[in-house]
Chains A and B, each alone.
Chain A
Amino acid sequence: MRVPGRTDDHEWSQQHLSHYVEGDLRPRARRRLDRHARDCADCGRGIRAMRALVYAAHGLGGLAGVRAPDTIFDRIRSAGAG
């Protein structure tokens, strides 16, 4: 039987960084990623990057002064509203 090594853990961790940040990993899987990231600079940076991405995306939310055009109901009006 093959024992999972660093490469397995690393690739698996890289694929699950978003799940980790989202809180979508089961406790055992979360511990696996935590354990690996403690010794892996790449994955530690990956977690920070993924958190920053989600934070930056949230920052894009809101309307920032964007208004719907006044014409938005025009098609209904020209269709005779019926």
Chain B
Amino acid sequence: MRSPDGRRAPDLADTEAGLLARAQAGDVAAFERLSSAYADRLFMLLLRLLGDRAEAEDVAQEVMLRAWQGITRFRGQSSYFTWLYRIAVNEANRALEKRARRPAGVAIGADELQLPAPAYLDPSRQAESSELRRALGRALADLPPPLRTALVLRDIEGLSTQEAAEIAGVGEAAFKSRLHQARLRVRAAMGDEALASSGG
């Protein structure tokens, strides 16, 4: 079937709503297709929150299992993405709590939090950018989890305050308070000179 402008109309079963309906009816393949669209982003979020690739892989599996087990309870009050991200933040927090209870808690790996500089930068700017990213990664790694979550969701992921607060499971005012605290701490850790010279 074609729409009036001549393009093929998407098959309803392939849209997010269609996949969701099928997943809620017990179709695991539909659930996997639906969730695959967000899998890379979700995994990246877990890497940023946990700072450990093996743990992020483990938690990502748990997030998908929890989402599958709870899919019939999803009522569409938020987007599917927001709902899935909320589960991811909860599971990451659970993993961090477990880590904190271990006698010799594994420190968050700052290296996991910083990423390669974009390829379009020239080599000298890439080196500068990499150093800034490393410093930012270290500062992020030192933040308490609720503050790190706020900064990751709002500043790194670029979500709106409303959506980020919903995912973090707090009201907007509380979320903003965490975000401002996180930025103040990161600023203090990095130093104004390093930040100002980054040219942002």
Residues of A within 8 A of B (CB): 15, 17-19, 22, 24, 45-46, 48-69, 71-77, 79, 81
Contact = CB atoms under 8 A, between A and B. Distances in A.
Contact of A63 (B41, B180, B198): B41
The A interface is mostly helix, strand or loop, or mixed, namely helix
B132 to A, nearest CB: 6
Given A63-B41, A69-B43, A76-B68, A57 B199 contact: no
Contacts of B65: 75-76, 79
A61 to B, nearest CB: 5
Interface string B171-200: 000001001100110110010100110111
Contacts of A81: 28, 68
Contact of A52 (B68, B176, B199): B199
Contacts of B41: 63
30 contacts: A17-B183, A18-B180, A19-B176, A45-B192, A46-B192, A48-B196, A53-B186, A53-B190, A56-B133, A56-B136, A57-B151, A57-B155, A57-B156, A59-B129, A60-B115, A60-B156, A62-B115, A63-B40, A63-B41, A63-B44, A64-B115, A66-B40, A67-B43, A68-B40, A68-B43, A68-B60, A69-B57, A72-B60, A72-B61, A73-B32
Contacts of B133: 56, 59-60
Contact of A66 (B44, B156, B157): B44
A5 B62 CA distance: 54
A64 B43 contact: no
A76 B196 contact: no
B114 interface: yes
Contacts of A69: 43, 57, 60
Contacts of B190: 53
A49 B195 contact: yes
